[in-house]
Amino acid sequence: MRGSIDGLGSSVPLGTMLPAAFADDDVLQRFVAGLDEVLAPFLNVLDCMDAYFLPSLAPADFARWLGWWVGAETDGIQDDTAEGEARLRAAVAAAARLHRIRGTRAGLSEAVRLAFGVEPEITESGGAAWNARPLGPVPGEHRPRLHVVLRLPAPTDADEYRLDNLVAAARPAHMPYTVQVTAVERTHQT
């Protein structure tokens, strides 16, 4: 939370802006010095406003609000840890790029990776091909489908719910989908 900061000086002291007739008035100078102390945090925010809109520099609570403002997929990202805060900032920074590739395999993969920190396995029915002759074979499958598998170290029911919501928001609108969250297979070393 932002608020008053002890010892923060004003970047624009009001006492220096008073007319010359009041410059030597001690009572008035002390009064406006009190106003300077109250206004200093606001002026500091205004002086640093550009930093508030950079996810890497903004305070964590403002970065979360900024993510909501730009439509970043930040649901379920806990920013109370250093790793969670870094994932939140990365998701907010990538929001504009993700909106451009929304509905594509790359966009869905990136959204899931930013939300969970793990690369998903995506299988789909689509395809693209080019042929110099007309009436060539149609690529892909006749029935649309999308399946997203996420392998996590310790999956929970909440992870599957979060993945379902994320895929529903980031997939092509016409595409039926299924999701699956499984545990990472551990290999035993002897």
Q: How confident is the model at residue 122, as a pLDDT?
A: 95
Q: How confident is the model at residue 4, as a pLDDT?
A: 60
Secondary structure of the chain in HEC code, one letter for each residue: CCCCCCCCCCCCCHHHHCCHHHCCCHHHHHHHHHHHHHHHHHHHHHHCHHHHCCCCCCCHHHHHHHHHHHCCCCCCCCCCCHHHHHHHHHHHHCHHHHHHCCCCHHHHHHHHHHHHCCCCEEEECCCCCCCCCCCCCCCCCCCCCEEEEEEECCCCHHHHHHHHHHHHHHCCCCCCEEEEEEECCCCCCC
Q: Which residue has the higher pLDDT, 2 or 52?
A: 52
Q: What is the pLDDT of residues 166-184, one digit of tens each?
A: 999 888 888 899 999 999 8
Q: Which residue has the higher pLDDT, 3 or 168?
A: 168
Q: How confident is the model at residue 43, as a pLDDT?
A: 85
Q: What is the pLDDT of residues 31-73, one digit of tens each?
A: 988 888 888 888 888 888 888 889 999 888 888 899 889 888 7
Residues 128-151 have a mean pLDDT of 86
Q: How confident is the model at residue 110, as a pLDDT?
A: 92
Q: How confident is the model at residue 190, as a pLDDT?
A: 57
Q: How confident is the model at residue 78, as a pLDDT?
A: 73
Q: Which domains does the chain have, with CATH numbers?
A: 104-190 (3.30.70)
Residue 160 has pLDDT above 60, yes or no: yes
Q: How confident is the model at residue 2, as a pLDDT?
A: 55
- Provide the whole-model pTM: 0.65
Confidence of residue 189 (pLDDT cuts 50, 70, 90): low
Confidence of residue 27 (pLDDT cuts 50, 70, 90): very high
